[in-house]
Amino acid sequence: MLGLLFHAWERRLASVTKDRVVRPFEWGLDWISPNGHEPLPPEERLRRWVDEVMRETEAFFHAPTTREYQFDEADPERLRRGEAGTLRFPTALTTPHPSNNVVVARWFPARGEPPVGSLAGTAARRSGRAVLVLPQWNADVEGHVGLSRLLARLGVSALRLSLPYHDERMPPELARADYIVSSNIARTVQVCRQAVLDARRAIAWLAMQGYERIGILGTSLGSCLAMLTTAHEPLIRAQALNHVSPWFADVVWRGLSTRHVREGLNGHIDLERLRDLWRPISPFSYLERVRAARTLLVYARYDLSFPVDLSRMLVAEFRRRQIQHEVSVLPCGHYSTGLTPFKYMDGYVLARFLRRNL
């Protein structure tokens, strides 16, 4: 009975959004390089590209170093609320949309931290803790800002990253962040890759500030991107993954939040083929690469967007492989996680884990 009530509530919450667009199916070959292949059918060409990517994911997710970091101090009101300023830097993967090619991150330092860039700060921060925060798909500009402030109040500095095609990075033709998850197969892979490269450059900035105990927190789509980042970024000590699945394709195919994406896929590809083509952005592909990090897996008991059997499958795989992890199950659904009182439960679980493990 409780499950039925939560599922009905989740459907009502999902129906509030009226601007979802069913976009046409595309293989997205313009988002990959020809690599000298002879002419092939689009799906076969894309599969060969994916096979090449999976042979060397270190190269695929490599983010060249940059020194082009710009930090703008916050206005007095934001300073009063715990936000020190905004970090901007160029993305490592240039896209056709200029606004998306500048990464934006908001900085919430723990109390007593020296100013960014100060010489005294670099030495003082070496014993401090910092977390990169990746919000959920279609998070607005304030998404996870409250969680970042909570982390800072608990002594863990937080850098809140705007995902590709979100808030300031969204081109004018979009009302939602459709280009990071869509029925364009190769573009979805490449834009999720861009998010990982952005995260690695953000972590490099934290290291430049003197932080040595660095963690990452991701929610929903952000949790998938966080795990991909952890799998390729040795500086990460702990990852808190909020709403989880082993497979990217299965969430899109079955989830409540992605029904409009599924409509665009219908009739063009089946789940098995989609799962194969989206291997580069699926957590299952990288389980053995996250052994060194402490991991928290969080899922919601009545989730319709990240179906619960998928979350439990990932937990079981961590357990089977004996990868160190903790599990927390929220007594709510996906959308209701962001509502009172569940958002406080979730925030407490995430912040407590990171504070304890960094």
Give the residue extent of every domain in the chain.
Answer: 2-357
Q: Which CATH number fits domain 2-357: 3.30.360.10, 3.40.50.1820, 3.30.565.10, 3.40.50.300?
A: 3.40.50.1820
- 135 contacts 143 by C-beta, under 8 angstroms: yes
- Could you tell me which of 298, 221, 309 has the C-alpha nearest to residue 258? 221
Give the span between the Cα atoms of 164 and 104, in whole angstroms. 9
Burial-class residue 355 by CB neighbours within 10 Å (0-12, 13-18, 19+): middle
Residues in the chain: 358
Give the span between the Cα atoms of 19 and 57, in whole angstroms. 35
Residue-wise pLDDT tens for the chain (358 aa)? 788 898 998 999 899 888 899 999 999 999 998 655 567 899 999 999 999 999 999 999 999 999 999 999 999 999 999 999 999 999 999 999 999 999 999 999 998 887 786 544 555 555 589 999 999 999 999 999 999 999 999 999 999 999 999 999 999 999 999 999 999 999 999 999 999 999 999 999 999 999 999 999 999 999 999 999 999 999 999 999 999 999 999 999 999 999 999 999 999 999 999 999 999 999 999 999 999 999 999 999 999 999 999 999 999 999 999 999 999 999 999 999 999 999 999 999 999 999 999 9
Give the span between the Cα atoms of 85 and 75, in whole angstroms. 8
- Could you tell me which of 132, 76, 66, 78 has the C-alpha nearest to residue 105? 132
Give the span between the Cα atoms of 172 and 40, in whole angstroms. 35
Residue type (1 letter), 69 = Y
Q: Give Cβ neighbours of residue 271 (< 8 Å, ≥ 6 apart).
A: 249, 250, 253
